[in-house]
Amino acid sequence: MGTLSEEILGAPAGEYVDRKVDRAFVHDGTGVLTLEAWRCMGSGRIADPSRTYILFDHIAPANNSITANLQAELRQFAREHGIRFSEVGGGICHQLMSEGEVLPGEVVVGADSHSCTLGAFGAFATGVGATDMAAIWSEGMTWFRVPHTIGIRLSGTLPPRTEAKDLALTYVGRLGMDGASYQAIEFSGTGARGLSMDDRLTLSNLAVETGAKAGLFYADRVTCEYLAGFGKKVVPQVPAGCCYARTISIDLHEIVPVVAVPPRVDSVKPVSELEGLPIDQVFVGTCTNGRYADLERFARLVAGKKVKVRTIVVPASGSILARGIESGIIRDIIAAGCVVGSPGCGPCLGAHMGVIGEGEVCLSTANRNFRNRMGVGGEIYLGSVGTAAATALAGVLTDPGGA
């Protein structure tokens, strides 16, 4: 009888465990360092290539010769060792792992801090660094300290014009940037059961912004139906009635559209308090809000209108882009004056396309607004897809409730 993390890791909170890893993934950014460390270790083996993934998303396609050469090396390595590989344009690692790969109860590690996203499936999913990953490639195992858990009990349903993103920023604001350090977050309650898989992924995605090691939902009917769509048959997890280190309750009825004010993700304010702030760029996408439901919502809000500031929309995966083309939402987004980028991380980390200039302000649906992240001297406000749409249409920060 324990928390979901305790059940999956098989030991009580506070204990160190060596645990077999069910799935391990890196992207083009962290993969380079992982490969270097793996070569230095000299094992020469990949424990389980069929459960090891190299997924290109951070600078995809490559922006210059240095990046292209690093990517060529990783691509070749994946081919030689039979490692699961996703080419540029395939999509963001966390999104691809959520498209029928990660299953409830698994232990999943990614060489990216937002690997906690996959806790939405009732898996124990967390981020590790490159050297840890190199050892995991060789041995298929790693050590964990089983985390204590903060319970976030959700009730009610979200009001119209608010989204899981507003709820996510709200809980980050309440816990603070290190409020869940070394701990896991478990989302439960009637409010959690009413959330779609896409919403849950958004909520788990931001767990690391509180310092959390993981952000988990119990697999339920919603999870099973979602995975059935990918041909995966799974059964619900039954909460054990565990004890949390701390519990906070959030009534979804009380959520309002919010933004995180730079340079902190936990500096959360209602959009209504900041309306009219000049915005130079709007960015819709990322592992937080680049899923089909996000793009569909955005398209519905801008269809038949024209955006007043440059607006970049980046689908989180190739299959989302393909679906969006088929359904017509990509056409609506382009007709509204937006540019659609190739699936991947886009401008989120300021490494290539969509970088902002000095003194410029971006309203982004991503998860980080740290100083200079999207470009030197630029500022990032984080908000929902609805806030992004209202802001793009108005040219200034705008509450979606008033749109």
Partner 1 sequence: MRIEGKALCLPQDIDTDVIIAGRYLRTKDRKLWAVHAFEDLDPGIAPRLAGAVIVAGKNFGCGSSREQAAIALREAGVAGIVAPSFARIFFRNAVNVGLPVVECDCPCTDNTLVVAELEEGYVEMGGSRIPARKLSPRMIGILKAGGLVDFWRASH
Q: Which is nearer to partner 1, 34 or 86 (CB)?
A: 34
Tokens of residue 158, six digits:
């979200």
Task: Supply the minimum distance, in Å, between the C-beta of residue 27 and partner 1.
Answer: 10
Number of helices (H), then strands (E), belonging to the chain: the values are: 14, 18
Task: Supply the minimum distance, in Å, between the C-beta of residue 371 and partner 1.
Answer: 6
Q: Which is nearer to partner 1, 103 or 133 (CB)?
A: 133
* Contact residues: partner 1, CB under 8 A: 16, 29-30, 32-33, 36-37, 40-43, 59, 66-67, 70, 111-113, 115, 127-132, 134-135, 138, 143, 177-178, 181-182, 211, 213, 264, 349-351, 368, 370-373, 376
Q: How far apart are CA 194 and CA 13, in angstroms?
A: 28
Tokens of residue 370, six digits:
């740290």
Q: How far apart are CA 125 and CA 110, in angstroms?
A: 8
Q: Which residues sit opposite 339 in a β-bridge?
A: 312
Q: Which is nearer to partner 1, 66 or 240 (CB)?
A: 66
Q: For the chain, what percentages of helix, strand and coil (3-state, to nearest 5) are there?
A: 40, 20, 40
Sign of the CA dihedral with 346 first, then 352, 353, and 356 last: positive
Q: Which residues sit opposite 127 in a β-bridge?
A: 110
Task: Supply the minimum distance, in Å, between the C-beta of residue 162 and partner 1.
Answer: 26
Q: Which is nearer to partner 1, 350 or 383 (CB)?
A: 350
Tracing tokens 């645990």 back to the chain, one arrives at 19
Q: How far apart are CA 33 and CA 134, in angstroms?
A: 9
Tokens of residue 323, six digits:
């679906």
Q: Which is nearer to partner 1, 238 or 376 (CB)?
A: 376
Q: Which is nearer to partner 1, 41 or 256 (CB)?
A: 41
| DSSP output for 121-187 | GT-EEEE--HHHHHHHHHHSEEEEEPPPEEEEEEES-PPTT--HHHHHHHHHHHH-TTTTTT-EEEE
Q: Which residues sit opposite 311 in a β-bridge?
A: 282
Task: Supply the minimum distance, in Å, between the C-beta of residue 177 and partner 1.
Answer: 6
DSSP symbol at 391: H
Task: Supply the minimum distance, in Å, between the C-beta of residue 160 and partner 1.
Answer: 33
- Phi and psi based region of residue 196 (left: phi greater than 0; alpha: psi -120 to 50; beta: remaining): beta
Q: Which is nearer to partner 1, 148 or 297 (CB)?
A: 148
Q: In terms of residues, how long is the chain?
A: 403
The pair phi, psi for residue 265, each rounded to 5°, is: -75, -25
Task: Supply the minimum distance, in Å, between the C-beta of residue 133 and partner 1.
Answer: 9
Q: Which is nearer to partner 1, 30 or 281 (CB)?
A: 30
Task: Supply the minimum distance, in Å, between the C-beta of residue 238 and partner 1.
Answer: 29
Residues 97, 25 contacting (CB under 8 angstroms)? yes
Q: Which is nearer to partner 1, 32 or 245 (CB)?
A: 32
